Amino acid sequence: MRISIRMNLVKIHDFLWEIPRQGAMLVPGRLYVSASMLEDLRGDPALTQVANVACLPGIVGYALAMPDVHWGYGFPIGGVAAIDARAGVISPGGVGYDINCGVRLARTNLRYEDVTPKVDRLADALFSAIPAGVGSEGAIPSLSMEELRHLVQEGAEWALRHGYASQEDLDHTEEGGRLPMAQSEKVSEHAYQRGRKQLGTLGSGNHFLEVSRVDQIYQPRVAAALGLELGQVTLLIHSGSRGLGHQTCDDYLRIIGSAMAKYEIVLPDRQLAAVPIASPEGQDYLGAMAAAANFAWCNRQVMMHLATNAFIAALGISRRELGLTLIYDVCHNIAKFEDHIVDGVKRLLCVHRKGATRAFGPGHAEIPRTYRHLGQPVLIPGDMGRYSFVLIGLEGAMRETFGSSCHGAGRLMSRTQAKREARGRDLFAELRALGVTVRAQSRAGVAEEMPASYKDVAEVVEVLEAARVTQRVARLKPLAVIKG
């Protein structure tokens, strides 16, 4: 079954467009994009994917696409779907291969001028302390299988128990760094083997560790509440569940794909493979997905601990002088059970966010108490040559997007195209000219992620600000970037 989207999109306002319901679509699709972004998307398979997602049994409201939308596996990256938790389905394609890929932001007591004279030394120390690249491992001693099973049940609490975290870290991590529905026994032995040496490692692709400086403040009151000020040095970490999460997705795509016929589920794309949430296969996937998500939270927490030690050693300062403090950790690529108002009625939904970030508005009980009056911090990394943004969730997100925002800039070029465009160029020198020091395992990895391969993240966040979903708080400019 195929859905054609050769149609006229309906303009809701300057930054919101609708794909009318047609064929097997159960709800319309909605795209948060500017007119120029929409032109770039014409003919893009991501639009067809939005329409396909609208066919999932139990979907409510709309199939949503954030302004960083681009083609992905099953769901578009930048896709959001809210599914009725009692009568709907779960789709691994709506979570993705890198389960709980996410971003954490920490602030320091350091100023830009404190770091610039020693930026090469700092970059070397971070690159040495935190393994990066495909298959990277060895940040901490290899875990036994028994210990790894404890870890995927406990998430960031495992890091706290082993001295890699403080309670304050957990208090400023989404879900406290742990999904209690994790079931360690639902993760395959193969997945465990792939992950057992990878705790505290960055990985490859678009994952990175970045030392940045705050170069613009848009909302002084909110920035002050987050502990951010102009000229301050910050740390961004973007990574996920590594081989354990990738294998878990692979395992359950096969299981769920094979089980669809049993539940008489027919969808326009086999990559959208889905089963009822209440089914044995659905419950098993949720338990394994949560376990992989817990691994990811622990992974980012351990990397922050390793980065702290690298800062101290490279700059010759004390832990107190550094003052590395977690502001927040948000996850992408996850499905979570949340209460939302639909047609005036509160409903329990399973919200799939693939390449999308939670962005709850002020007063929501899931936001850490210290930020609850503000709204949830939303962390949006850009490319390694320009800037990233700290946003805050608004009440409009709760009305419009099931409390969701974009998660990054979104690719303009495929990795193959980016490498082709980078031929003959000294990308390290180009980035150095922009004031960015890069350490990477390979030139190819830098070529795939060069700035021109991404949309300008400023345009992406402006769309959601104009739509009153999120609001910009601060802009971060990169100083040093560690890549796989």
265 token code pair: 């589920």
Please give the DSSP secondary-structure letter assigned to residue 121. H
Q: Are strands 345-354 and 77-84 parallel, antiparallel or unpaired?
A: antiparallel
Q: Which two tokens stand for residue 325?
A: 């403090």
Q: Quick check: 378 and 222 in contact, CB under 8 A?
A: no
Q: What is the largest CA-CA distance in the chain?
A: 64
DSSP per position, 259-326: HGGGGT---S-GGG--EETTSHHHHHHHHHHHHHHHHHHHHHHHHHHHHHHHHHHHHT--HHHH--EE
Report the C-alpha dihedral over residues 204, 209, 212, 218, rounded to 10 degrees. 80
CA distance 218 to 228: 11
290: amino acid identity, one letter:
A
Q: Provide the CA 399 distance to its chain's centre, in angstroms.
A: 22
User: Cβ–Cβ contacts within 10 Å for residue 231, how many?
Assistant: 12
Amino acid at 126: L
Strand pairing category for 59-70 and 357-358: unpaired
Catalytic residue (one of 172, 332, 364, 407):
407
DSSP helix/strand/coil, 161:
helix
Neighbours of 39 (CB within 10 A): 9
150 is written with which tokens? Answer: 């404890």
221 Cβ partners below 8 Å, 6+ apart?
none
- CA-nearest of 363, 353, 421 to 394 is 363
Report the alpha-carbon distance of residue 34 to residue 456 in Å, rounded: 13
Q: Is 407 among the catalytic positions?
A: yes
Q: Residue 40: how many CB atoms within 10 A of its CB? A: 13
Which residue type occupies 215?
D
Q: Which amino acid is at 236?
A: L
What are residue 351's phi and psi, to 5 degrees?
Answer: -90, 115
Would you please indicate which residues are annotated as catalytic (active-site) residues? 407
